[in-house]
Structure 1
Amino acid sequence: MAKLSSEERAMFPLTDIKSVVKLFTTHLNKNKEPNLAILSIIVGHIENTLTCARGTAGQETSLTSSLPVDYDDCVTGGGGGGGGGLQTDRYSDLDCTLPVVEYESVEALYHRFLAIIKAHVDVTAFGTPKYATRELVKRISDVVWCTLSSSYYKDRAHLQSIYSYMTGAKLDSSGTTLAVVAACQALGYNDVHLALSEDHTWVVFGEKGQHTVEVTWHGKGNEDKRGIPVTDEVYSKSWLYVNGQPVICDRYMEVATIVSNMNPGISATTDSEEVMLLQQALLWSLYDAGHLAKYPMAIDNLGDLEEMMPTKGRQPATKMYEEAITSAVRYYDNQHVYPYTYLGGYCYRNKLYKQALKYWAKAASVIKNYNYSRDDEEIYKEFLEIANELIPHIMRVVSSGISARSILKDPECFAYLIEFYDGICEWEEGSATPVLHIGWAKALFNTISKFDAHVRSHVKMICIDPDSADLSDNGDLQGSAVEKAAAAEARTSQDQNGNMATDCINLTEEDIDPSEVLHRWPLVKLASAKMRGLRDLLLADKLNSQAISLQLTAQSQVTTKKRGGNELESPHPGRSKRTRRE
């Protein structure tokens, strides 16, 4: 593991974004083993000083989506793209001031971190193997766990850095995993790396990273899981473990995790502009070096920042969101949900409502691969908000006034809604706890009732029987032609490697010519038992609210072997902890 060189130490004190980016780029360019602990201490110090201290002092800087378009005074542009070494020259104009970071302070906290680990972990007791063992990683996680304060709220913000660990003995779940990996690195075990799902972290180790081990908790706290491997039985059909398709980090991606996990929040409604600008600059430098290519969430975070604070000369936020989807499809078998909800959220905020419905339907087509469990609270809240708040808002907006271009006249929009609910219903199947309650049913009925029977009848619905290869359709609607067209569309949506390609986004909503409506026959394949049962009700001239509600909220009609043998509990509706700008 590399300590800071004399050249790097000479860059202190760090006083602005330029100096921090220069230090990071220099350190990463020079070292195959960048020092995770030191880099985490540096950004943790800056973040905590600008958020926690400022929040208590009342010196808040409000930052919302109404920021000016250009921030050229703080972030200068450059060409997009990955590959090559980190660049420092185009950040030469970065002069946004930051809290001063002295080298002596960083060094002191780093040595304190080393002292804690080395005082409690005798590597000779584990035979000093070349590669880490499960017992060694478990011991280190025990040390981190036992040296945390026993009296703090573990889900509070700004607890993800080793700075927080050293100054307050506090870490959240992801911070605990980072501390374990950084401690293993400090002890010379360079095979230990982070594994990331969309809401959980664990560790991989071994010569080829073939071993896995839990080192932290999730949700309400599962400390007894520490030391347990993440097996096929654990991750199969589990969103928490993304069906065995997590982001496995190398050291540079772990640095990207440190940066991506920075939290600019001062309060529930106020963010630190300086933290966001620093995070944005560091993510761009990592992106340019190719370290985000296999990291969809980090790409999405960069897109989020670009949406609020566009950088001159950089590609727009939409391209970043699309790139995150491409990464998830190419490297993780399209098992990640958030890339689609990020893009759907962007479309919603920019009143691109048809595209929003499209990407929310794609998100649901991913979640249907899983079985709902108590570990899925965050993604449950995400879908609940989409179904019960965002889509109803869209319906209210497009229902007002008289417009021939309303999405309510577009059968494809109705098809996206049906695909969305079909995915949710399939997610519920095989789970011990229902997902859909009466609130979901009311929202569904109110939404579909906005589409008249003429529009709904132009959606070609076919049912996929899970026990048979046979397909049934909803009448004599030129099924073969529709299915051929759908197959052709599916073929053209694949890239040369056989991966699903993402669709480019039109920046304006498509104008709907009423004369063209009759020529649209979108195809929807219903896979869930509930939506197959709803097909005729959805296509009826007059919708039956009671029948639809009873069918949607009925006990799940398909039961499969439950994963892991855990008891599941009712979901907790509410808003996701992820930052929103609506």
Structure 2
Amino acid sequence: LLVRAARRAEARRWLAGVRPETNMALGASVRRHFPMRKVDDVVELFRSQLEKGDEPDLALLSVVTGYIENLMTCHRSVAAPVENIADDAAAKQAAFPVVEYGPIEALHAKFACQVKGSVDASLIETAGVSGTRELIKRVSDVVWSSLTRSYYKDRPHLQSLYSYLTGNKLDCFGVAFAVVAACQALGCTDVHLALSEDHAWVTFGPDNSETAEVTWHGKGNEDRRGQPIPQDKSWLYLNGHAIQCTRATEVAALVSAINPTIAAATDSAELICLQQQLLWLLYDKGHLRNYPMALGNLGELEGLFPSPGRPPPLDLLSEAVHASRTYYRDSHVYPYTYLGGYLFRSGRLKEALRAWADAADVIRKFNYGREDEEIYKEFMEIANELVPQAAKLSPSSDGGNLLQDPRCFACLLRFYDGLCAWEEGSATPVLHIGWARPLVATIAKFPAAVRAAVRVYACTGEEGEDGEEEREEGKGQEEKKKGGQPQKGQKRPPPPPTPPDEESKKNSECSSQDSTLVEGKAPKEEDFLRSLESQLGQSNGPPHPDIAALAAACAENILNPDYLLGCGEPFSTNNNGSTSKDGMSTLKGSELDFDDSDLFDPKVNGRLSPGSPFRELDNSSSAHNNNNNNDDDDDGGDGSGKSFHKPRKASKKADSRNGGGEPSVTLSSQKMAGLRELLLSEKLNTSAIQLQVTAQSQVQVVRRGQQPGGGAPGEVSTRHSKRIRRE
């Protein structure tokens, strides 16, 4: 009893405001802003909080915005459509509710009392790194236990402390923000908010190096509270490139979270005006410089309701892309989707397609998981609705027909290649038949001549200078072949009816000399087999490691696209098609011209085809497929972010290979690399493309890198063991 009495006395002293910085009273500096009768009054309150000497009061600002949002969306009998009063500033000011001091002060005091009365003061005094984690865990438990038992997802107006204090309801962002505001009320100034594009958690400790989960993202994840954030290739956590907030950035996050939705097709014009002006206040003070999501929100608002004398929406959206590249190693997807959406609405369909391809280049850095629902829906809308609609509207648009532009076809391939790369290495597949049909329909709208004008390279691994030299040497050999003078080590065309597979490139010289033509005709099959048997008998060394790899993978039946075109075997893991003199794949009728000595080359099995990965379409695209972790993704301009549309300078080798300006694209995903020949054929095989796009094998099989000493059949690993086939 004495211990309890002592704790109650300590709690009373704590509630009385022992620490002046955490006193519950708002003070005269806050009270002078009330009552607030118009948008400008709220903006002045935010300005005073941002400009005062100490930190802005997060709880106060959250209660104010939540109070106004609740009045303007949940408790208004007649909702005027936005377009009717969007241009009438006087009507907006007249419709704004009057915000009195009494309700705001009462809710603010209730929050402080609830937090301070539920947390042991000893946790504050002994808060080190480990103690702060325990404190955060305790605060999050207090907030969590106060919520209703119902599960809320995608429900509007649940992100503010007003919703928490009046209805005990919060969404994912609201819980994280409430924990940070509670820690601020307790005097812990080193606890800050961390934001990804669809999640929120807290950071603390020296340089905010410690992280802690305080909220949930989907059912069954409540037990993560207090645990460090996982460092994996997950888009939900941005793989270490989340926004580390300051107090001003937390205010910006609060403003960005304002939801003006009244009904499905109706928004509150007053709330839109308030959010827009608050974002401009934060923008002018430089607090949005490293916040791509807030810049994208402001750009979208300016696109709908332009502000006189302010930068155009395109500059703001390009600045959001610049912020993602500069501060977060180009790991944010939404800046590109914001930009693509604006360009699409503006009728600039070609540029919109390029922006969507850049968004897919970002998502390829991550592995798809079941918690990536929001970005999955975003890409599904782009792929299945916006891209087909752009292809449909393009012939009549002022910017030119994208169906006649090879660069647009390259952007389309890059878009789907990013999605397929996102799927690789993931436990759950992304693309199903619902994705494949719009893809096939859109590709079929591009004429064969336009598709053939794009240089498509397949690169499922890194290529060095050696690979490029081999390609140049191969081109020279093809030119000599046309001259009719076979060189030493040069392989002659394989004899019909079926070209045999030679042992390796090292034996190509011997095999090409022995397999000679007799009187211009091919030798008989028996003679050829006899000569092949003698060659194999003379070899005393171990078999080529690729033969062992083929034997290990022979049980995996992967459909060979070449078989559907009339040649090749029905099931083959990797078959590379022909390469023409300039490095492009060629299809002659129903026959593929390829060099059989390259069949077992590891680069061909890895789907590496001639050409180094280079794109000259956009300054953001040359580094995505080769090295997604480059630090030099900045636009390298004057820092204004306006150089987003300037093409990146290419190397001399790339210029010579591209012919000075021919569009090219490098496919790094296994699925799209397998479609390379089908996409460039004159007549599209839609069934084969759909089968390849929806194939599950690329998801289940772990990448099989060849070991330096060769791989044994037992060294081939798969994600899931194969079921034994019943006889």
TM-score interval, normalised by the smaller of the two chains: 0.7 to 0.9
Q: Shift of residue 465 of structure 1?
A: 3.1
The match for 2:368 is: 372
| Cα gap change, 1:193 to 1:368, in 2 (>3 Å) | same
Q: Does 1:227 align with 2:226?
A: yes
2:322 to 322, 326, 334: 326
Paired with 1:266 and 1:488, the residues of 2 have a C-alpha distance of: 39
SS in 2 for 1:557: helix
| Cα gap change, 1:487 to 1:272, in 2 (>3 Å) | closer
Q: Does 1:406 align with 2:397?
A: no
| Cα gap change, 1:499 to 1:228, in 2 (>3 Å) | farther
Paired with 1:31 and 1:9, the residues of 2 have a C-alpha distance of: 17
The match for 2:45 is: 23
Letter in 1 for 2:126: T
The match for 2:582 is: 477
Paired with 2:413 and 2:641, the residues of 1 have a C-alpha distance of: 22
Q: Shift of residue 384 of structure 1?
A: 0.7
Q: Shift of residue 219 of structure 1?
A: 2.4
Paired with 2:179 and 2:613, the residues of 1 have a C-alpha distance of: 52
Paired with 2:445 and 2:660, the residues of 1 have a C-alpha distance of: 21
1:363 to 359, 363, 370: 359
User: Once structures 1 and 2 are overlaid, which stretch shifts more, 259-268 or 142-151?
Assistant: 142-151
Paired with 1:154 and 1:487, the residues of 2 have a C-alpha distance of: 39
| Cα gap change, 1:223 to 1:24, in 2 (>3 Å) | same
The match for 1:63 is: 82
The match for 2:132 is: 133
Kept in 1, the 8 Å contact 2:615–2:665? The answer is no
Kept in 2, the 8 Å contact 1:434–1:556? The answer is no
SS in 2 for 1:369: coil
SS in 2 for 1:208: helix
Q: Shift of residue 399 of structure 1?
A: 5.0
Kept in 2, the 8 Å contact 1:373–1:433? The answer is yes
SS in 1 for 2:260: coil
SS in 1 for 2:263: coil
Paired with 1:9 and 1:425, the residues of 2 have a C-alpha distance of: 56
Letter in 1 for 2:34: F
Q: Any gaps of 5 or more consecutive residues in structure 1?
A: 75-93, 507-517, 562-566, 569-582
Paired with 2:633 and 2:115, the residues of 1 have a C-alpha distance of: 51
Q: Does 1:459 align with 2:458?
A: no
Letter in 2 for 1:61: A
2:60 to 15, 21, 38: 38
| Cα gap change, 1:475 to 1:483, in 2 (>3 Å) | farther
| Cα gap change, 1:322 to 1:108, in 2 (>3 Å) | same
Residues 67-78 of structure 1 mapped to structure 2, 5 A cutoff: none
Kept in 2, the 8 Å contact 1:463–1:527? The answer is yes
Kept in 2, the 8 Å contact 1:325–1:340? The answer is yes
Q: Does 1:425 align with 2:447?
A: no
1:6 to 4, 28, 33: 28
| Cα gap change, 1:48 to 1:463, in 2 (>3 Å) | same
| Cα gap change, 1:37 to 1:311, in 2 (>3 Å) | same
SS in 1 for 2:262: coil
| Cα gap change, 1:194 to 1:142, in 2 (>3 Å) | same
Paired with 2:618 and 2:348, the residues of 1 have a C-alpha distance of: 26
Q: Shift of residue 520 of structure 1?
A: 5.4
Paired with 2:43 and 2:195, the residues of 1 have a C-alpha distance of: 25
Paired with 1:18 and 1:404, the residues of 2 have a C-alpha distance of: 41
Kept in 2, the 8 Å contact 1:185–1:192? The answer is yes
| Cα gap change, 1:437 to 1:405, in 2 (>3 Å) | same
| Cα gap change, 1:71 to 1:488, in 2 (>3 Å) | closer
Letter in 1 for 2:81: S
Letter in 2 for 1:138: K
User: Once structures 1 and 2 are overlaid, which stretch shifts more, 543-552 or 123-132?
Assistant: 123-132
Q: Shift of residue 151 of structure 1?
A: 3.7
Kept in 1, the 8 Å contact 2:635–2:643? The answer is no
| Cα gap change, 1:412 to 1:549, in 2 (>3 Å) | same
Q: Deviations over 1:522-563 (max 9, x none)?
A: 1101100011110110000000011111111111426449xx
Q: Does 1:246 align with 2:250?
A: no
Q: Deviations over 1:3-28 (max 9, x none)?
A: 64423311210110111111110121
Q: Shift of residue 118 of structure 1?
A: 1.3
SS in 2 for 1:203: strand
Q: Shift of residue 220 of structure 1?
A: 2.9
Percent identity of paired positions between Structure 1 and Structure 2: 50
SS in 2 for 1:20: helix
Q: Any gaps of 5 or more consecutive residues in structure 2?
A: 1-20, 472-577, 585-609, 624-631, 647-658, 704-718, 721-727
Paired with 2:368 and 2:447, the residues of 1 have a C-alpha distance of: 33
Q: Deviations over 1:412-463 (max 9, x none)?
A: 1101000000000000000111111011111111001001110001101111
Residues 99-498 of structure 1 mapped to structure 2, 5 A cutoff: 99-125=97-123, 127-129=125-127, 133-151=132-150, 153-230=152-229, 234-399=230-395, 405-466=400-461, 469=464, 470=467, 474-477=579-582, 486=616, 495-496=635-636
Paired with 1:126 and 1:392, the residues of 2 have a C-alpha distance of: 57
| Cα gap change, 1:430 to 1:158, in 2 (>3 Å) | same
Q: Deviations over 1:309-346 (max 9, x none)?
A: 10000011111111100001100000000000000011
SS in 1 for 2:207: coil
Kept in 2, the 8 Å contact 1:482–1:523? The answer is no
Kept in 2, the 8 Å contact 1:357–1:416? The answer is yes
Kept in 2, the 8 Å contact 1:204–1:213? The answer is yes
User: Once structures 1 and 2 are overlaid, which stretch shifts more, 410-419 or 547-556?
Assistant: 547-556
Paired with 2:304 and 2:214, the residues of 1 have a C-alpha distance of: 35
Aligned residues: 524
Letter in 1 for 2:674: G
Letter in 2 for 1:31: G
Letter in 2 for 1:222: N
The match for 2:695 is: 554
Q: Does 1:521 align with 2:662?
A: yes
Letter in 2 for 1:380: Y
The match for 2:681 is: 540
Q: Shift of residue 258 of structure 1?
A: 0.9
Kept in 2, the 8 Å contact 1:415–1:524? The answer is yes
| Cα gap change, 1:378 to 1:485, in 2 (>3 Å) | closer
Q: Shift of residue 221 of structure 1?
A: 4.7
Paired with 1:219 and 1:166, the residues of 2 have a C-alpha distance of: 23
User: Looking at both structures, which has the greater relative contact order when contacts are Cα pairs under 8 Å and sequence separation is at least 6?
Assistant: 1
| Cα gap change, 1:127 to 1:493, in 2 (>3 Å) | closer
| Cα gap change, 1:267 to 1:485, in 2 (>3 Å) | closer
Paired with 1:548 and 1:435, the residues of 2 have a C-alpha distance of: 16
Paired with 2:139 and 2:294, the residues of 1 have a C-alpha distance of: 27
Kept in 2, the 8 Å contact 1:32–1:251? The answer is no
Paired with 2:179 and 2:250, the residues of 1 have a C-alpha distance of: 12
Paired with 1:485 and 1:373, the residues of 2 have a C-alpha distance of: 29
Letter in 2 for 1:398: S
Q: Shift of residue 405 of structure 1?
A: 3.5
SS in 2 for 1:413: helix
| Cα gap change, 1:329 to 1:400, in 2 (>3 Å) | closer
Q: Shift of residue 501 of structure 1?
A: 6.3
SS in 2 for 1:382: helix
Give the TM-score of the pair, scaled to structure 1.
0.84
Paired with 2:206 and 2:144, the residues of 1 have a C-alpha distance of: 26
Paired with 1:103 and 1:255, the residues of 2 have a C-alpha distance of: 20
CA RMSD of aligned residues (A): 3.0
